[in-house]
Structure 1
Amino acid sequence: MENLVLFDVAEGTQNLGDYIIMQCIMEEMGFYFNNKYLTHFSTHTPIARCYQNFRRNMMSRACDNSKNKFICGANTIKESLLRISPDWNINIFNIKYYKDSITIGVGMDMNAKNMDFYTKYIYSKIFSKKFIHSTRDNRTMETFKKLGYKAINTGCPTTWKLTEEFCKSIPTKKSDDVIFTLTFYDKDRKNDQKLIDILKENYKKIYFWVQGSEDYEYFNSFENINGIELINPNLQAYEDILNKKNIDYVGTRLHAGIYALRHKVRSIIISIDNRARDMSKTYSLNTIERNNIEMLSKMINSEFETNVKINTKAIEEWKSQFREEKHE
């Protein structure tokens, strides 16, 4: 049986959005993954300790024997890898494990324009030069090309299901109930309080989903939260509430919003960082800037279509590399 290695954003994470990314990748790549043995290594934690890098071990055997290796959905492109990043833990000692890796829907940090020599060197050693890499937005695609790699903007795999035909099944009018999210590591107490107040004014029943490890503590610090029902911090609990009829999604968590769309739930994503802005610009997600939160009530009560502009041609072009088994 052929072996594959997945550098997995859901391993060692404290953000359930990473589980959403991996679930979608497994669904979208099932045609290629299902009949192969998969070994998962975390992108968040070091693949090996320093002393393990100097002798053959289980990790090196898995990577050496794999047909292909995939880096899944991480913020892979950084300005500097000299600083330890919580979502991409790689260094000069463990780059051998990543040799010839292929990316799936990866992105970049906002300030990754002026890369240092060390970071460029690591990138020169880990990415495949044979395969086309999949990026989640145009900025990341252009950066890959500048680094000398073939890349195509497929968007995040969480969006690949959102075809024109699928989006027609998403409601255009406000529902009675809503599920919302907050983001503990990007606090804005003034506007997040306004968000809660607006939801209380416009919906009959309100649910709060805990996507991040400290989202509950942040939520619990606000006023006017009486009557809001807490949804347990796991993907199954979130999926169960999305499958409930007559519910909207509103919130600052990008992947929670996209996951809601995948369950045919009308969604308004509140942009708080470059990921939401980049993807909104490229794919026409229904978003509102948090500093324009006063406009949220009007948007909630308006009628709007969901028309995510995914590039099905680019997605299929990237997938075809594995359907046709090129590069043998």
Structure 2
Amino acid sequence: MTFVKSISVLDTSIVTQNIGDEIIMDAVYSQLHEVFKDKLFVKIPTHEIIGLSGLSLIRNSQFGIVGGSNILSSAMNKYRQWKITLFQSLFIKQKIILLGVGWRDYQTRPNIVTRLLLKNLLNRNMLHSVRDSYTESKLRNIGFSNIINTSCPTMWNFTPQYCDKIPKTKSDTVVFTLTDYSKNIELDLFLINFLLEHYTNVYFWVQGRGDLNYLNELNVEIDRIKIVPPTLHAYTEFLEFTHCDYIGTRLHGGIRALQKNRRTIIVGIDNRAIEKKKDFNLNVIERKDLKIGLMKLVTEDLPTQIRIPLENINLWKNQFIQNDGNKSVS
């Protein structure tokens, strides 16, 4: 009897109220289907505790691949973005390979539980892909040398040729986002009022559970703002059929806009967007700089000149393809 080889995918879009996780996993699966053309993908949730069945599936699969998101931190036993324990890690030792993952925030050195957990989980022979140089440095500083910065898989198709097709000039329509767990009433109000002043049509996409409530709390002309429903399907359809700019604090709301060839300005509120700007030249303005810098970005020509690390991306992909005896990806 012949069984199909399986790949366990540690999926961050299961048991989540943040549609950004869906955007990440959409890209993760797209890349994995390119690399593992004849494999069975088994989905394992990261946002809830893995049971014995899940551990068994990972243990008996060829690899377990963790896809995207800020799933790592310096205190993984405290923040539990990835709900796995030190005891559970003993059952799937060195089965895990990282794909475009990131670090939760700017943090101190990982604690001993985190170091032991990652030592147990991460494969020592295969290359691990991380989304920025900050995450790379955090892992290298605790003894992992097989780490490469590939950017997030949501960005892997942003070649120079692709970026050249994204409009440089301002649209009459804009879609924006807010982040309910990172509020700054003064600057978020400034952003919304600026958009209402400079755009004819203003839309708001609800990416997270509390974003619409936060918008309603703010003293803005709510009747002038049209709502895009809180689904990835609705947002994708809007972007495909509406010529617009994207400006907002939701990083992956902006990435999705770029995936649909929309002029995009991401408002950086944490290390994720800021590090992507440093490493890959993503068009990001830190929220604290909105009052002095947003006007220029919006009203003047804005080229999209993202620099993705194609060599590292191909290194990560080809390690699997070459092991299977197939042609490499380039």
Pairwise mapping of residues 27-38 of structure 1 onto structure 2 (< 5 A)? 27-38=30-41
Offset, 1:97: 5.0
Q: Which amino acid aligns with 1:234?
A: T
Offset, 1:206: 0.9
Whether 2:56 is the aligned partner of 1:21: answer no
Offset, 1:98: 4.3
Whether 2:250 is the aligned partner of 1:253: answer yes
Counterpart residue number, 1:174: 170
Does the CA-based 8 Å contact 2:267-2:284 persist in structure 1?
yes
Counterpart residue number, 2:290: 293
Deviation >3 Å, runs of 4+: none
Report the Cα distance in structure 1 between the residues aligned to 2:128 and 2:258, rounded to whole angstroms. 25
Could you tell me which of 187, 195, 198 is aligned with 1:199? 195
Could you tell me which of 92, 95, 105 is aligned with 2:100? 105
Whether 2:118 is the aligned partner of 1:123: answer yes
Could you tell me which of 7, 12, 15 is aligned with 1:4? 7
Does the CA-based 8 Å contact 1:196-1:225 persist in structure 2?
no
Whether 2:69 is the aligned partner of 1:74: answer yes
Corresponding residue SS for 1:264: coil
Does the CA-based 8 Å contact 2:58-2:92 persist in structure 1?
yes
Q: Structure 1, residues 65-116: CA drift from partner, whole Å, max 9, x if none?
A: 201110111323311123142x221212321354320000011132433222
- Sequence identity percentage: 35
Q: Which amino acid aligns with 2:237?
A: D
Report the Cα distance in structure 1 between the residues aligned to 2:242 and 2:208, rounded to whole angstroms. 25
Report the Cα distance in structure 1 between the residues aligned to 2:311 and 2:286, rounded to whole angstroms. 30
CA gap of 1:112–1:98, structure 2 versus 1, over 3 A, is farther
Corresponding residue SS for 1:142: helix
Counterpart residue number, 1:52: none
The runs of 5 or more residues in structure 2 that have no matched partner are 326-330
Counterpart residue number, 1:164: 160
Could you tell me which of 236, 240, 243 is aligned with 1:243? 240
Q: Structure 1, residues 119-151: CA drift from partner, whole Å, max 9, x if none?
A: 111111000001000000011112222333201
Corresponding residue SS for 1:134: strand
Q: Which amino acid aligns with 2:48?
A: T
Could you tell me which of 83, 92, 95 is aligned with 1:89? 83
Q: TM-score, normalised by structure 1?
A: 0.93
Report the Cα distance in structure 1 between the residues aligned to 2:238 and 2:299, rounded to whole angstroms. 21
Whether 2:211 is the aligned partner of 1:208: answer no
Counterpart residue number, 1:54: none
Report the Cα distance in structure 1 between the residues aligned to 2:174 and 2:23, rounded to whole angstroms. 20
Q: TM-score, normalised by structure 2?
A: 0.93
Counterpart residue number, 1:264: 261
RMSD across aligned positions (CA): 1.5
Q: Structure 1, residues 187-211: CA drift from partner, whole Å, max 9, x if none?
A: 0011101111000011111111000
Q: Which amino acid aligns with 1:166?
A: Y
The runs of 5 or more residues in structure 1 that have no matched partner are 49-56
Does the CA-based 8 Å contact 1:80-1:116 persist in structure 2?
yes
Corresponding residue SS for 1:93: helix
Corresponding residue SS for 2:323: coil
Report the Cα distance in structure 2 between the residues aligned to 1:275 and 1:109, rounded to whole angstroms. 8
